[in-house]
Amino acid sequence: MHMEEILSLNSEEMEKLSFNDLVEKIEEIKDYFHQNEVDIELALKLYGKAVELLAIARAKLINFKKEKEEIDEKYREFLERLEREENGGEEENLF
């Protein structure tokens, strides 16, 4: 993707991008900055777009973390329930 295409992305389009696509766009901007001939005006615009992309990527990471924590909690509850059933089952056999 050319830099102009990245710059043309609006907030809604950026929000729809997957995390991997966001990282790819950020990498493309980073690669542009490593070129010898950098247009300062374009570089400033790209820097602003990179900050926007990073903010969206960070928000997605936070959501991933929350989702993982919810799954972990469900798994802990499952293990606790399983342990209670096993312990309850042993006590019933004793009496």
pLDDT in tens, 44-62: 999 999 999 999 999 999 9
For residue 33, pLDDT over 70 is answered with yes
* CA 29 – CA 5 distance, rounded (Å): 11
For residue 10, pLDDT over 90 is answered with yes
pLDDT at site 8:
96
* CA 40 – CA 8 distance, rounded (Å): 18
* 5 or 37: which leads in pLDDT: 5
For residue 1, pLDDT over 80 is answered with no
Please state the pTM of the whole predicted model.
0.75
